[in-house]
Structure 1
């Protein structure tokens, strides 16, 4: 007895291989996206710790000290986010911290605390160039009651140069990666749709309009792209949680809002690339002659 033949359905093609291929491609994009988010967050953490150390003259009154603090807070170059714009550190606090870190009680040896009261001034990222930092240093140095101003010049230069290099490298890598992923998804769908080429021609021959033929393919492609996006987002979520459980410091770099935006982007990218690849593949078959289809 002859086995019944499986009828091809318009818009239908093997789903498993297509969804798995798109999922893996999106997962690669997601992992790379997480690395970019972590690198940007690391840069932000480093920049938040770029401070100008303002040492005060000895024997200032409380009123004089507060006048300096208010003047510093009024400057546009002070980063006031998170309440860390201007942080006061007394000479006694500085001495305790030094003794705790080194284990050497220099006060007993010297007989006095030679340190100065100080303000740690957080500088806005827009003023992190060396010329701007030097100008800020000079302006603060001119304030009445200021003994000395200090910042780590090598750190500023290193951060600025490395951020530029890393930014260019990441831009180049993500461009190549996106192009590779788009080509991979496009080729996967073209291979999957190859089996539908004669069915497409049959629909043309009976007078079906182009959009009538395209619609089921595009709807199925959007569904496959969405499913692949959900699967890749779930896998990326699991990988991120696992990595944070193993490496405690990663939680500091994890930005929940940006991470959720990345997961949403995977859904959108999966749907858009799948639909566009399907559209161009089907349109190509619609334009082929019968000889070319063979």
Structure 2
């Protein structure tokens, strides 16, 4: 039996190699789609977090201003909190391409403010309204108004949501297609081993004795396929980040590790399930049905 298994293993080696290569390429394509989806989300969040929110001040007391700035900085929605005095306000005005009033006015009409950027999760109409109510309610005599580009916020949220849903639907469809293709690839590879499986059954081998080494081989092949796909995707990410430096700014190691882990689970899981199903199927068939 052992010698027979070794000989059969050599004969089926080519089919296993083709299966590994095929599954690796399919997993790689799935990983690319996942990486694009994650980066699309990160780009959207990055764009949201570039929207400046200004809390205009009535007070000129430096201690009160520092207190308000510290209050905002401790909130989970705030990042990059900065006090903008009149000179900084003028510099921002001129930087935005607005007309300089120095030739008309002999004073700076711009109010002082505390500017900050909100985390992407808080960049929606309801959350921004709550932030507005909280700051004006806490410092009604010190803060005159909270402003942000409402039209831009609404537009960004609508576009991000629309493209996100569309991309998610496409990704789910492609994921299903990929799973089906991987399943068929493995089942095709197992087709070449159908006579080996049936012969072992005919000489008295139990179902567990037959399926166990096949399942172990499936797990090993799944690990190899996933490893190759992850390596290819990692090299692609490194190349893309070197070619497009902006991608490094939104690089998220945790999300990439989750993506790699998902590829590993899918590769091993489908390989094991498909192999086991195929083995059980051929065990149930009659010898004449194998032809």
TM-score range, shorter chain: 0.7 to 0.9
Flag structure 1 segments of 5+ consecutive residues without an equivalent: 1-5
Return the alpha-carbon distance in structure 1 between the equivalents of residues 119 and 164 of structure 2.
20
Return the alpha-carbon distance in structure 2 between the equivalents of residues 206 and 184 of structure 1.
34
Return the alpha-carbon distance in structure 2 between the equivalents of residues 129 and 265 of structure 1.
30
Q: Who is 1:35 aligned against?
A: 36
Moved over 6 A (4+): none
Note if 1:286 corresponds to 2:287.
no
TM (norm. structure 1) is 0.85
C-alpha displacement of 1:18: 0.8
Return the alpha-carbon distance in structure 2 between the equivalents of residues 164 and 101 of structure 1.
28
Q: Who is 2:69 aligned against?
A: 69
Q: Who is 2:162 aligned against?
A: 165
Aligned residues: 283
Flag structure 2 segments of 5+ consecutive residues without an equivalent: 1-5
Tell me which of 184, 208, 212 is aligned to 1:215: 212
- Structure 1 pair 128–174 and aligned structure 2 pair: CA distance change class (3 A): same
Return the alpha-carbon distance in structure 1 between the equivalents of residues 252 and 130 of structure 2.
33
Note if 1:275 corresponds to 2:276.
no
Q: Who is 2:102 aligned against?
A: 107
Note if 1:265 corresponds to 2:266.
no
Tell me which of 178, 188, 192 is aligned to 2:185: 188
Return the alpha-carbon distance in structure 1 between the equivalents of residues 17 and 73 of structure 2.
60
Note if 1:56 corresponds to 2:75.
no
TM (norm. structure 2) is 0.86
Preserved contact between residue 22 and residue 270 of structure 1 (Cα < 8 Å): yes
C-alpha displacement of 1:265: 2.5
C-alpha displacement of 1:225: 1.2
SS at match of 1:115: coil
Q: Who is 1:229 aligned against?
A: 226
SS at match of 1:107: coil
Q: CA RMSD in A?
A: 2.6
Return the alpha-carbon distance in structure 2 between the equivalents of residues 140 and 199 of structure 1.
74
